Each structure stands twice: as structure tokens, then as C-alpha cells.
Amino acid sequence: MALSRRIFGGLAGTAVLGLALGGSSGAAPRSGGGFPTVPTGEPPAPPAADAARHEVRLDGRSLLVDGRRLALWPGEMHYFRLPSPSLWRDVLEKMRAYGYNAVSVPVPWNVHSPAPGRHDFTGVRDLDLLLRTAAECHLYVILRPGPYLGADLDAGGLPGWLTAAGGRARTTDPAYLRHADAWLDRVHAIAVRHLYTSGGGTVLLYQVEDASGTADAGAYTAHLRAKARADGIDVPLVSGYAGEPAAHGAAGVRRLGLARLAEGAALPVPLLAFGGTSWGWLAAPGAPASYDRGAALDAGRQPGEELAPTHQIGHLLRHVPDFARLEPAARVRAADERLAVSHLANPDTGTHVYVVRNDSGADVSALLPGTGIDAPVTVPARDARLLVTGLSLGGRRKLAYSTAQPMVFLSTGRADIAVFTGARGHMAHVVLDCPDDLRPYRLDDETAWAYDRGRLHVTAPLGDGAPTRVRIDGDGSGRPLLLLFADDAASLRLWPCRTPSGPLLVHGPALVRSASVDGAAVRLTGDMTEENGLQVWGPRGVTEVSWNGTALPVRTGRSGGLTARRPLPGAPQVVLPALGGWRRRTENPESAPGFDDSDWTAATRTTSSSTTPVPDAQPVLFADDYGYHYGDVWYRGRLTGAAGLTSVSLAYRTGSGGLLMAWLDGEPLGTHRMPPPEENPAGKDTWAATARFRLPAALRGRLRDRGRAAPVLSVLVRRTAHAQDAAARDTHKAARGLTGAFFQGASPEVRWRLRGANAPDPVRGPFNNGGLYGERHGWHLPGHDDGGWEETAFPRGDRRQGVCWYRTTFRLSVPRDVDASVGLVLDDDPGRAYRVQIFLNGWNMGEYVNDAGPRQPVPLPGGILRTRGANTLALAVLADGTTPCGPGEVRLTLLGAAAGGVPVTPVDSPGR
């Protein structure tokens, strides 16, 4: 498993800090005291906002909801990285379908608070809508409002304006708590309407900010817990420790997910289900724009390679109650010491669970003495396997052991169904303890079986594109057992569903969003990506099937399910237009000596709230102290007494990938760049440098000839993100922007003015805009009149220091009822030094750096992207002038398409 250096800022969450429900409080009771032991049984019904009171508690092994054990399998969703509320439903429905039963929801303070005392929960920040949608999707919610989150957010989720406020963050400093409590007041006012305990929603747990390792952790955490309780949060309060590494790849996620299961934690760490895109200036220093590495769903909402293990484990926990109560059992050692084994057992059912982990770099096969598993277990390098013995498979049948991992066991209609999964190309071996009158039937040619000393041995290959099936009759129960064997790809087309009429199992579609039984009819909704068959195993009496509202002709198959007589069609072709009709306009008039900066902010401060010292004999130049918290910042200094000046040294601080451009009297002095994100050492969030520029001879001569006339030094700083503050040392207050100016050959007096972004966009929020001239004058907005701009085409080969804008419009005609995920691709010779800020319909989709960083499509979320209408694309190009600056190729690309999806409402995109 590859472990990310990125800190997900509290994705950990296994330690219970408080369980104050009604009149009870304190830690979970030990076995033999407190609440009576709850035996293994059916899990609680899927959650909903049902207006009924519910009891939630913990007995140390699992959550207890209304007296029933719940095996929680949560995934984290970053709604703030998907600025299209309609698509939140798409992600949540996919999470439910793929096995998650809970969603962890971080709520970033900085996304919702553009200024002290202002909190915005409208539009793409509508937390109330998100919580309602989660309840409608039957997902429990773990609410995580911080105030500090981490999560690779700018300042870890603390608002930019807090950098210039008094008080030490993440402590009991009253100056800080005044702001933090005001934030929590607003979040809690929304949350209490959605608590599961009152039936208003499905908020099941509340995660208190983790402050472990900080100087004031105990008192600060106590304050946050008391604040939640005082504001009416009566669900269990949970916390943990930050710094949990993320897992990447299917093997890494399986190893980490099974490790959580092996720990027996009632509240497992949420893995990242959907991270989205860090649009605008949202990302922390060094964090990638596409925040989907290790996520089950990528930034374009498409399945990632990590999805299969989460799907398999999630449905196992949901549909096999034995896993809701597992306790440590006798130690087991593999015959090969490279395999580590965790042994757990359910004391009620006698089911034994073995998590076998291989941390080595080679595949390992070995026996597990003392487990009753008679066959060698093979675990690929840096992977893990889950083995189960003693699991009841209905009637008098029990699973003796299996070399494949169980995914689902359910009883539906007239049959019991068990699904086993494993790696493609492997041979699954399932052994059943059962009566000797069983009658196996081969439904697929590749399977084989043998009966030996009271055990039925079944072998089946994994990976022929569809599940391999074996039907077993007999045992006197009157219910046959259907065994399905699937590799990862085939398992992602198996959909166990719970309905009030009983469970269903569906095979074939790319996604099943909902399932219900209406009399004799099964009604399914979902997505199809390519033509495929459909098969349904359902309750007794079911004879009809509909898909997305259309009745399907069906027949009863050999396996006992209903099979569609014709394949379901896949998604129709989606044709994307070429991007042409570009217009161009150069920018940065701020570099000209005659530019009018009289309405800019004068840099007259002499003290700062920053943790960065102010240089001696210099004014405060830090951007945050003047209210400019995100994006680019311009400085203009008038130099009195500059005759004889030979060079300029400009000290500045940024996050990773920052840059500085300088002009003197309109003549470019050059560009300085901080290291790109991929060169950042782990944990470094602030970069400081001094850019030294020697004046050209001709410019030195002009300064001498001008005598006492004051030249203008113009500086553009791409300040990038604030540092995170994991250790509560106010590192988010480290300065951003210019910090000092020093001169050689003369000692001019300098009067500085600076300008950053306009007031935050009331719709798009504080992270959308920076201080470029074009941004301040609306060049990025769809309503801007670019009729007077120069017509142009790509590729461009300009060689100019500064900023240049390009705009075009395009129309899309995506077929109705098709969910098309579209991305933007920029490509050019990586030797060309420039970067591009991308605006779609006025929304800042992020930055493309041509000569550094990964080259991958920028997702354009539907809702912001009009998939059936006109769109405006604007590109702001910053170039250092040392190379031709492009852009080269700019095109749309299809990230994925499905027939189905969810209705998408256009996101408000004001044109002016």
C-alpha cells in the first residue's frame, strides 16, 4: 500500500470521547456492566428523516441503533470540492450503492465565512440541502465542523480573515473562541434539525476537532464538546487523532480497510469516497487540484481502482450481521512469517474471521495452522485477504472455509445467495460443511466440485467477465444455495439491495441507484455505461422488472432469477465540439508607470498579527493584513531618490508554486518562482525567497537622467495558499505576498500601495477571485463584452512577461438522460514556462502549470457546465517571458458517460 504524505486532517476517528444521550454520559460500558449485551441479529433499517425518536449508543464492539447492532462503513465526501449541489445526490447515491452506509462530512469554516461575523450557507454552500439529500439517500452522517479540519484545505479550513485577527487559533484564547463559537453557532443551528436521535435527519455522530498534540488540547476539546452539547447536539461525540495516511490502489485500500476491521473498532476511520477538485484557491500548499488519489470515486465522479474493495467490504458488513460483533480471538500464526494474521470471532454465531496481511514486496502463499483452513492462502504483495469460517449459509449449510472473500449472503425468494470475490485469474475454493444429500448443479462450464468426508468442495475461476455460478440443492431446507464467484470487475456489477418486501440482488448495470418492490414488479433505477444484460433475484411472487421506468420483457433463468430477454442499451455517443473562435487581450496595465493606483490600499501598517517578523525599517507588506487573502496581489512602490539604483531585491513568501514578477518604470525586471508542488518536502507549507534583479544598463541610465522624478516599482505576487496549522502554532498566519524590498546603488524612499481581489463574489464565494486586472474588471465572467478583443488561434508563441487573457464560447448538446462528465485538457511543450487560471462561466476551476506538475484533465462539473447550452471559457495566462508562452492545445474531453444519472440544475453563474 502506497501511503500518501498528505494529511487528511482527521480522517481518523476511532476514539470515543463522549456519549451523552439523554441522561446517560461517559465512556462505553464494559462487558458485564451498564447496558445489557445485545446479541447478533438483523441490522437496523436504512436510516431516513422519519420524525421518530431513535436511541444511539455504543457497547465497545459496534454502534447500537434502536437496540440493533450497526456495522458502520463510512466514506468521506468533500462537497465543497464539487460546486454543483445537484451532483451531491449523484455522489451520495453512488456511495450508498457501492456499500457505504455512512458519509463523513467535513464542513470548512473558510468556505462559508468570507468575513468576520458573516456565514453563508446558500448555493454551493447549502449544508442544509446536503444533509437532507444524505437522509434521502439513506446514509448516516458523521458531521465534522472543525473549526479546524486539515483536509488539504487552505489554512486547514480556517478562514483567511482569521490570519489578521487576534488570538491563537485552536486554543482557549478568548479572542479566537469568540470567532470559533460564532461559526459553530451557525453550523449547530443547521445540524440540530437533522439529528437522527430526533428523527429530523440522519446525523448519527458528531466528530469533535482533533487537537491532540497541541499545548491546550484538553481544555480546548472540552470547550468544543461542551459547546456542541449546549447547542443541542445530542448524538455521540467522537474524536480521534489526525495524520491518518491515505491508501492508494485497490490493494492499499483493501489492506487499510481490512486493518480497520481487524482492529474491531466500532467507529472505523472513514476512507475517502469522493474528494473532488480543489477549484479556485481552495487547496492547501502542495495539495493536488484533483483531490482524488485514493478516492473510490475520482474527481469526475467516475469509479476509481479503489472502488472494488470498498464495495465488497461495505456490502459484507451491511448484509452479514456476524460482522457487527467481532471480538479478538486466539492468536494465529501463518506458516510464513511474512503474513500477519488477525483473528476475530463472533461469540453469538461462532463465525471466525481472519484478516491476513502481507506487508512484503512479494506474493506469499502459506497455510494457517489452527484455523481449519486446509488450503494454502495466497496474499499478493502489500495486500490483504479476508477469510471466514463457520458462517451460516442457510439451512444446515456452513462455510467451512474459502480462499475467496465473502461479499454478500442473503435470502431472497426461494433461494439463499452467497457471493465470493477474489483476484482476476485466481481459482476460488469454497468448502461447505453440509449433509451428504446435496445436489450441485453446474450453471457455468468452468466450475467443479467434489464431496469428501461431510464437506462439499467447490472450485470456480474468477474473471470471465461475469459471475461464475453454482446451484446447490438439498439439505432438507427446501431452499437452494446459489454460489456466485466474481473478480473485482464482476463484483462491481453486483448490487445487493434492501427493500421493505425483502432483499434483492441485481446483476448487470453499471449502477443501481434505487430498488423497490411494487406487488409483482421490481422497479429499478440506475445507470448503464455499455450494453449489458440484467438479472434480478427477488422476493417470492415477483414476475416483472422495470428499468428507469420502462418495463422489461423477462424470463426465469436457470439460477432462479429473472433475466431480461434483451440487453439494456449503454450510453449513447457524446460528441464534444472543438474549441475555436478564441479572442485575446493582454493585461497587467499595473506595470506601467502612469497607471492610476490612487484607490489602492496604502501600505502604512507597522505591526502585524502574522507569525512572520516585519523587516526593520519597512512597512508591513503582508497581503493578509490588508484584507487580501486569496489569489494574486499587486504592489506598486514609488521610489524617491532612485538615481544610481543598480539592483532590486524583493523578499516574498508564498505556499508552494508561488511566483513574483517585477517591473521598474514599465520595463520587465524578471520573474522568480518558488519550487513546484512535487518538489515540496513533506510538511513544508511556507516558502520564503528573495528575488534579486539587476537593472539593465539602459534603465540605469534613464534613472540617472530623470534626477528627482520618482520611478514606479510594480510587483505581482502569486501568493498561493496559507499554511495548515496541524500543531496549533498559528502557522496559517505566516505571511503571504511581498515582505520587504531592498536596493543596491541607491537608498530610495518607497511609498507602497497594494491591491488584491475585489470583495468576494456573492455567489461563487471568497476562493473564486484573485487580484489580476482582468478579474477585477470581470473578464472572467460570461457577460463580459469581448467584441473588441483580438481574434486568435492556438497554439500561441508569445514571449512576454505578464498576463494575457483568452476567451471563447461553445455549446454542448448532450442527450437528455445522459450523465456526461466532461473535462478540459491543456497541453503544450513542457519547456514553455507559463501557467493558466481556468474560468468556466465565471467559476475559477483551478490552475494549470505547463512546465510542472501532473498533466490531467480539469473536471468541469455539470451545473456549472451547461451540457445543453452555451458556455464561456476564459483563460488567464501568466508567463515569465523567457519562453514562448502558449497556450498550445486546449480541448474538451469526455471523462465518462452513463445513461441515467440524476437531474442537474444549472448553478447560478452571474454574467457581470
Dihedral of the alpha carbons of 125, 128, 75, 293, in degrees to the nearest 10: -10
Confidence of residue 507 (pLDDT cuts 50, 70, 90): very high
Q: What does DSSP assign to residue 277?
A: B
Q: Which helix (H) or strand (E) holds 186?
A: helix 174-191
Mean pLDDT of 188-200: 98
Q: What is the pLDDT of residue 260?
A: 86
> How many CB atoms sit inside 10 A of residue 684's CB?
14
Can you tell me whether residue 198 is helix, strand or coil? coil
Give the architecture (CATH level 2) of 773-900: Sandwich (2.60)
Query: pLDDT category, 855, cuts 50, 70, 90?
Result: confident
Cα dihedral sign for 308, 311, 314, 316?
A: negative
Sign of the CA dihedral with 739 first, then 743, 747, and 750 last: negative
Q: Which residues pair with 664 in a beta bridge?
A: 667, 713
Q: Decide which of 682 and 109 is more confident.
A: 109
Would you say residue 12 has pLDDT above 90? no
- Residue in 609, 638, 606, 637 with CA at minimum distance from that of residue 619: 606
Query: Which residue type sits at 10?
Result: G
Contact assessment for residue 801 and residue 889, using Cβ atoms and an 8 Å cutoff: no
The whole-model pTM stands at 0.95
Per-residue pLDDT of 566-622, as tens digits, reads 999 999 999 999 999 999 999 999 999 999 999 999 999 999 999 999 999 999 999
Q: Which helix (H) or strand (E) covers residue 222, if one does?
A: helix 217-230
Phi (first) and psi of residue 172, to 5 degrees? -85, 15
CB 119 within 8 A of CB 113: yes
Strands 889-899, 818-827: parallel, antiparallel or unpaired by DSSP? antiparallel
Same fold, 325-493 and 773-900: no
User: Which pLDDT band holds residue 19 (cuts at 50, 70, 90)?
Assistant: very low
Share of the chain above pLDDT 70, in %: 94
Mean predicted confidence (pLDDT) in 468-480? 86
Mean pLDDT for 750-779 is 97
- In three-state secondary structure terms, 220 is helix
Buried b (16+ CB within 10 A) or exposed e, 63-97: bbbeebbbbbbbbbbbbbbbbbbbbbbbbbbbbbb
- Indicate the burial class of 140 (C-beta count within 10 angstroms; 0-12, 13-18, 19 or more): buried
Q: Is 454 exposed, middle or buried (0-12, 13-18, 19+ CB in 10 A)?
A: exposed
Q: Is the pLDDT of residue 35 over 70?
A: no
pLDDT bin (cut points 50, 70, 90) of residue 239 is confident
Question: What pLDDT, on the 0 to 100 scale, is given for residue 681?
Answer: 60
Query: How far is it, in rounded angstroms, from Cα 105 to Cα 75?
Result: 9
Q: Which three cell numbers stand for residue 713?
A: 516599482
Tell me the average pLDDT of the chain.
Answer: 91
Using one digit for the tens of pLDDT, what is the confidence trace for 354-381?
Answer: 999 999 999 999 999 999 999 999 999 9
Q: Indicate if the pLDDT at residue 193 is higher than 50.
A: yes
pLDDT band at 267 (very low <50, low <70, confident <90, very high): confident
Angle at alpha carbon of residue 688, lines to 686 and 693, rounded to 5°: 150
User: Could you give the CA distance from residue 762 to residue 770 in angstroms, rounded to a whole number?
Assistant: 14
The domain spans of the chain are: 56-306, 325-493, 585-755, 773-900
For 244, other C-beta atoms within 10 Å of its C-beta total: 21
What 8-state DSSP symbol labels residue 158? Answer: -
The full 3-state SS of 26-72, as one line of letters, equals: CCCCCCCCCCCCCCCCCCCCCCCCCCCCCCEEECCCCEEECCEEECC
For residue 343, pLDDT beyond 90: yes
Residue 443 in contact with residue 453, Cβ under 8 Å? no
- C-alpha distances (whole Å) from 64 to each of 19, 61, 293 are 12, 9, 33
Most confidently predicted of 125-139, 208-222, 844-858: 125-139
DSSP states of 224-272: HHHHHHHTT--SPEEE--S-PPPEEHHHHHHHHHHHHHHHT-SSPPPEE
Tell me how far apart the alpha carbons of residues 165 and 113 are, in angstroms, rounded to a whole number: 14
Distances (CA, A) of 103 to 98, 225, 264, 297, 743: 12, 21, 20, 13, 55
Cα 672 to Cα 684: distance, rounded to the nearest angstrom: 19
Judge whether 839 and 908 are in contact, CB under 8 Å.
no
Is residue 209's pLDDT more than 70? yes
pLDDT at 707: 66
Phi, psi of 200 (to 5 degrees): -80, -20
Q: What is the mean pLDDT of residues 718-724?
A: 96
Mean local confidence (pLDDT), 406-427: 93
Question: Is residue 461 reached through a cis peptide bond, with omega within 30 degrees of 0 on the bond before it?
Answer: no
- The residues facing 415 across adjacent strands are 412
Q: Does the pLDDT value for residue 34 go beyond 80? A: no
From 179-183, 244-248, 386-390, the region with the lowest mean pLDDT: 244-248
Q: What are phi and psi of 498, to 5 degrees?
A: -105, 135
Task: Enter the DSSP assignment of 146.
Answer: -
> Residue 469: what pLDDT?
94
Q: Which residue, among 656, 816, 758, has the nearest Cα to 284 in the 3D structure?
A: 656
Q: Is 592 exposed, middle or buried (0-12, 13-18, 19+ CB in 10 A)?
A: middle
453 burial class (0-12, 13-18, 19+ CB within 10 angstroms)? exposed
Q: For the domain with range 56-306, which CATH number is right: 3.30.420.60, 3.40.50.720, 3.20.20.80, 3.40.50.2020?
A: 3.20.20.80
* Site of grid cell 436457470: 558
Domain boundaries 585-755, corresponding CATH code: 2.60.120.260
CA–CA distance, 559 with 470 (Å, rounded to integer): 8
Task: Confirm if 148 and 103 have CB atoms less than 8 A apart.
Answer: no
DSSP readout, 291-346?
--TT-SB-TTSPBPTTHHHHHHHHHHHHH-GGGGS-EE-S----SSTTEEEEEEE-
How far is 866 from 861, CA to CA, in rounded Å?
9
With a CB cutoff of 8 Å and minimum separation 6, the contacts of 526 are 97, 495, 509, 510, 511, 512, 513, 514, 547, 548, 900
**Four-CA torsion 646, 652, 656, 659, nearest 10 degrees:** -40
Task: Decide if 755 contacts 597 (C-beta within 8 A).
Answer: yes
Note the pLDDT of residue 545. Answer: 98
Confidence of residue 2 (pLDDT cuts 50, 70, 90): very low
Q: Please answer whether residues 266 and 63 qualify as being in contact, where contact means their C-beta atoms are separated by less than 8 angstroms.
A: yes
Specify the pLDDT at position 277.
95
Task: Show the DSSP H helices in 717-876 as ranges.
Answer: 773-776
* CATH topology for the 325-493 domain: beta-galactosidase, domain 2 (2.102.20)
DSSP assignment, residue 79?
Answer: G
- Residue 664, pLDDT score: 97
State the Cα–Cα distance between residues 89 and 96, nearest whole angstrom.
Answer: 11
Q: Is the pLDDT of residue 7 over 50?
A: no
**Position 364, amino acid:** V
Contact 150, 156 (CB under 8 A): yes
Question: How many CB atoms are closer than 10 A to CB 595?
Answer: 17
- Which amino acid is it at 525? T
